[in-house]
Structure 1
Amino acid sequence: MNWKNVLCVYPYRTDPLFRFWRIPPIGLEIVASAIKPFVDNVEIIDMRFEDDAAPYIKDKDLICFSLNWGNPKAIGGSSKFDLEFVFNTINSVPKGKTVVAGGRFATDYADMLLKELPRIDIIIRGYGEDPMVELFKKGSPAGIEGISYRDSDKIIHNKDRNQLVITGTYPDRSLRKYRYTALSMGVDSIYASQGCPFKCIYCEFTEKKWLSRSADSIIEELKTMDEDVEIVFFTDNNVFHDMDRMDKLCDAIKREGIKKRYLAQCRVESLVKRPDVIKKLGEAGFLIGVGIESFNEDVLRWLKKGYKPDLIWQAFENVRKTDILALGFFIIGNYKETREDMLRTADLAKAAGLDFINVSRLLCYPKTELYSIMSKLPDYHIDENRNIVYSDYYSIKDLSKIRKAINRRFYSPLHFLRTFSRFSYHFNVLRVLRQMTLEIILRGIFKKGRWIDRFLYLTNKYNIFYPIDFIFNTILKAGGRLLDRIASRKAMHIAN
């Protein structure tokens, strides 16, 4: 096959993980950038901004879909992942055009998707850029590692590809049509490493090695981002695994004068390794999300997290010395975990100094170690539609109530005020609230429209209320410092 006009589609109208954010589909953009030298035209569309893909599909001979989110039980029907719309869009592609799908959901359920969706011709399993380049060079999927495809009435799965290769490819941002935002601020994303050397029993990821791009490579990409971008989201699972690299990156950010806020996910251990780098991360503008999961030592051991609660306290002692905003991820409904254990999460999270918490019910996927364990426990069960673990002691409804109780207990009025004040350390709070309100109103009335994004960009850039914002933020920062001291004293009392 000789494909010359390519369309890359992000087919979801909403994002299940970031309801109030619209983050660029960076994986799809990297694929589009990788194949650009081989085609006459490559175009990217995002259905969060479009009403209909048909006008774009019309003159293309190869259509690529990014299928990252989904539930196999929802094949042929609707779900929170908007799969009915996604599948209808795929099946609407006229015959004679080649359809390629990739992404996490496509990788996990390649066989099922090829059987259920007759318009999909090829599925890329795992990272897409290298198999796609090879596909364009060869003109056929036969023999290419990491590809599944349809050959007449047969479905063929080529052998898995060695994924642990950092190509250094990053998206050609000139291909973007849209302004992406988080809390109405310009946002971009960056992919700086892959894999994970840890073995948590609930994890779906099979790459047990960790490879990364260099600090210089990351800086090079940061320089390609628009000036409007205020927030950069690292898509990696464990950005801080190599703290020496982060040391170099922080120095480079300071040296190059790149003033943005960086959202990064990390593990507890990374926050203990180099306290000096934690300070630099705060100065560089990093905000963190940490997979803590639990303060209960038995639960941590059962989940194979590889650390004890003492390490959590040590880690956040380092974080509290900075202005870093910290989000803690927790899991409830673990093996032999009691209601009291779960509820205590709120008090201990406050004591650790966390600004935000995200409490999830334990999820169990078929390809994980957790699945094989849970399948053998007669008093624990897995909900087939949502993959939620529940037990004879706590139903899904019980766990939902406990989760709500934890959130109410954590987000007390004083804590909310403190976190709101600390937000001013990094952002112009009044401007953010004003822009978010304006966006909600405009999108509520007009739904979609490029002019809305342009209007919000201009009102964000030319802020006529800056003097008022500055005074408000200054007062808020002072209040935040005072509340930090109060919270610190209370935390010491709870921890002891």
Structure 2
Amino acid sequence: MRILLIKPANPLSDHIQPPLGLGYLATALRSFGHLVKILDCQLRKVKTEKIPEAVPDFRPEIIGIQFFTQDIPVMRNLLAGLKKFWPQSLIVVGGPHPTACPQEVLQNYPQIDFCFIGEAEISFSRFLALLGESSGSTDFSRVPGLAWRENNTIKKTPGFFSPDIDIFGEPAWDLIQPQKYPPAQHGAFFKNFPIAPIITGRGCPYSCSYCAAHLSSGRLIRRRKIENLLAEIRRLVTDFGIREIHIVDDNFTFDRNYVLDFCRALVSARLNISWTLPNGVRLDRLDEEMLLAMKESGLYLIAVAVETASDRILRLVKKGLTRQQIEQGLSLINRAGIDAAGFFILGFPTETSEEIFETIKFSRQLNLIRANYFTFLPLPGTEAYAGLSAGERKRIDWEKFDFTSVVYQPSGISRRQLRNWQRQAFLSFYLRPKVLFRNLSQIRSWRHLFYLLRRAIHWLLT
């Protein structure tokens, strides 16, 4: 079958990252003989009406769309356009949003024919095999992790997480072309270029109430064999000229021995690359030996999900950390000579203005090179979302969701107040002379400088 996999263009977002999920899916589908194309509309700046021109002479039988919650503002126009261009094509969606709420997706978007729940490498392949059976059977209950309409109802099967993720191989890098992506994929800084993101494992056993990662990758951590991982990195270096790797696991440092083995293997491979951990790590899973091994193998930046300075809020959101543990973990990173960037969330339910101000103050007290301030977002499928009242859910404005706008309004605090505090936190952190100089010293070119200025202005003014 001819299958077009699409990553939507979102004008509200300035993040442009290779779509690893679509890459893994393409590898799985190709292994069964399907003809696959990946169209990253965000990278190529392809508007909906121009999609047919971006894939000339390719009439897809199946269109698969990677659907994140932040794609809601563009999804209706995209789906209407695709049905207009290729009315006979089946449209399927997968990713975090349809995984969290498949019924709502099928109810709200009539152009979508099927939703995939969780990992889709196996289920999508089985789905296509079912469509191709000569018997004409449509018993979709045989496909794991699928939602569909049948007799005016919506049915679904449980998602499936393979215990062995090495069977998925590598993303179809030849379809993604990672060297064509911009340098600032995660955050806005980098050491070397080109850059490629990779996954060493899937899954997260923690129960943070605001996090939806477990919906897409499960609770059980499953690791790739290090020899397979090193083979992929070597191929990225050799075939695409990659000079920096971003490990985007949900929990890279969970298994200490795995991390140490990976670092030794990377040093022995002599690939001369730098690498980072931009998605955040658990500060209670770090120690001096691990950090020094990571630095020796080329790690220069770790992002840490601090979230808040309030021990009360940390308990409320089931973070499993205390403020003291956060300080101790960051101290270890600092002593190892590795830069640290922090993630903070403002406006948790029941959070007071005093607690928000304390978090902003705390972020300046920590030895961080960069800080990102988000407002609380109750993602569908999370415990935090389930705990909202009907009125609170009604106040969420998904059409403005871009990780900078205030989507959720906490009780007693206006959206304008929260957005102003977010801006104040940003300016009070970065306009300190020491922090400003450290970041200016890492600018690689005039183009990089203009990108940073454009991004900062966009963030402050939206």
Query: TM-score category by the smaller chain?
Result: 0.7 to 0.9
Q: Give, in whole Å, the separation in 2 of the partners of 1:94 and 1:167.
A: 34
1:445 paired residue number: none
Contact 1:148 1:155 in 2 (8 A): no
Q: What does residue 26 of structure 2 align with?
A: 32
Q: Which residue of 1 aligns with 2:195?
A: 187
Aligned-residue sequence identity (percent) comes to 19
In the alignment, the residues of structure 1 paired with residue 81 and residue 144 of structure 2 have an alpha-carbon distance, to the nearest angstrom, of 27
Conservation of the 8 A alpha-carbon contact between 1:295 and 1:309: yes
| Contact 1:201/1:369 (<8 A) preserved | yes
Report the counterpart of residue 112 of structure 2 in structure 1: 120
Distance 1:270 1:221 in 2: 29
Q: Structure 1 residues 25, 148: closer, same or farther in 2, change over 3 A?
A: same
User: In the alignment, which of 367, 383, 388 is matched to residue 381 of structure 2?
Assistant: 367
1:216-262 Cα offsets, whole Å, 9 max, x none, are 22212111214532332323222211121111111111111123332
CA distance in 2, matches of 1:109, 1:90: 22
Q: Which residue of structure 2 lines up, in the alignment, with residue 63 of structure 1? A: 62
Code of the aligned partner of 2:165: T
Q: Which has the larger radius of gyration?
A: 1
| Structure 1 residue 266 displacement after superposition | 3.3
Task: Work out whether residues 231 and 261 of structure 1, in 8 Å CA contact, stay in contact via their aligned partners in 2.
Answer: yes
Does residue 396 of structure 1 match 2:415? Answer: yes
Question: Considering only aligned residues, what root-mean-square deviation do their CA atoms show, in Å?
Answer: 3.0
Classify the secondary structure of the residue corresponding to 1:39.
Answer: coil
SS at match of 2:249: coil
Matched residue SS, 2:417: helix
**What is the letter of the counterpart of residue 202 of structure 1?**
Y
CA distance in 1, matches of 2:208, 2:450: 42
Aligned pair count reads 417
Q: Which secondary structure does the structure 1 equivalent of 2:365 belong to?
A: helix
CA deviations 1:352-389 (Å, max 9, x no partner) are 2111111122222343322344439x9x8873214844
In the alignment, which residue of structure 1 is the partner of 2:293? 280
Matches of 2:34 and 2:382, distance apart in 1? 42
In the aligned structure 2, how far is the partner of 1:438 from the partner of 1:351? 29
Q: What is aligned with 1:41?
A: 35
- 1:469 is aligned to none
Q: Secondary structure at the match of 2:62?
A: strand
- CA shift in 2, pair 1:231/1:181, >3 Å: farther
2:445 to 425, 430, 433: 433
1:161 equivalent to 2:173? Answer no
> What whole-Å deviation, never above 9, does each CA across 1:193-233 have from its counterpart, x for those lacking one?
22211111222334332222233222121112145323323
* Gap change, CA 1:62 and 1:190, over 3 Å in 2: farther
Are the equivalent residues in 2 in contact too, given 1:271–1:278 (CA < 8 A)? no
Q: In the alignment, residue 36 of structure 2 is paired with which amino acid? A: V
Q: Does 1:10 align with 2:4?
A: no
TM-score (ref. length: structure 1): 0.75
CA distance in 2, matches of 1:211, 1:40: 27
Query: What amino acid sits opposite 1:181 in the alignment?
Result: P
Matches within 5 A, 1:321-336: 321-336=335-350
Q: Indicate yes or no: 2:433 matched with 1:414.
A: yes
Residue 458 of structure 2 corresponds to: none
User: Which residue type is aligned with residue 210 of structure 2?
Assistant: Y
The CA distance in 2 between the partners of 1:342 and 1:219, in whole Å, is 43
Q: Specify the alignment match of 2:265 in structure 1.
A: 252
Q: Measure, in 1, the Cα distance between the counterparts of 2:109 and 2:308.
A: 40
Q: Which residue, 86, 92, 115 being the options, matches 2:78?
A: 86
Question: Structure 2 matches for 1:68-79, cutoff 5 A?
Answer: 68-70=67-69, 79=73
1:91-490, aligned counterparts within 5 Å?
Answer: 91-138=83-130, 139=132, 142=140, 143-150=142-149, 154=152, 156-168=154-166, 169=168, 170-176=170-176, 179-183=180-184, 185-204=193-212, 205-206=214-215, 207-226=218-237, 227-264=240-277, 265-272=279-286, 274-286=287-299, 287-375=301-389, 383-386=395-398, 388-420=407-439, 423=442, 429=443, 432-436=444-448
Letter in 2 for 1:171: P
Give the drift of 1:93: 4.0
The change in CA–CA distance for 1:165 and 1:90 in structure 2 (over 3 A counts) is farther
1:381 and 1:177 mapped to 2: Cα distance?
40
Counterpart-to-counterpart distance in 2, 1:141 and 1:279? 54
**Residues 242, 266 of structure 1: CA spacing in aligned structure 2 closer, same or farther, 3 A cutoff?**
farther
Deviation at 1:307, TM superposition (A): 1.7
Distance 1:308 1:113, change over 3 A: closer
Distance 1:399 1:203 in 2: 21
User: CA offset at residue 57 of structure 1?
Assistant: 6.9
Taking the aligned partners of 1:319 and 1:100, their CA distance within structure 2 comes to: 43
Deviation, 1:129, is 0.7
Partners in 2 of 1:309 and 1:438 — Cα distance?
36
Partners of 1:147 and 1:381 in 2: how far apart? Answer: 26
In the alignment, is the contact (CA less than 8 A) between 2:196 and 2:244 conserved in 1? yes
Q: Which amino acid aligns with 2:9?
A: Y
Residues 173 and 224, structure 1, Cα contact 8 Å, conserved in 2: no
Q: Which segment drifts farther, 110-119 or 256-265?
A: 110-119
1:67-98 Cα offsets, whole Å, 9 max, x none, are 332369x5xxxx3xx33442233323423333
> What is the Cα deviation at residue 301 of structure 1?
1.2
**Partners in 2 of 1:181 and 1:261 — Cα distance?**
16
Q: Which amino acid aligns with 1:419?
A: R
Identify the range of structure 1 (117-126 vs 287-296) with the bigger mean alpha-carbon deviation.
117-126
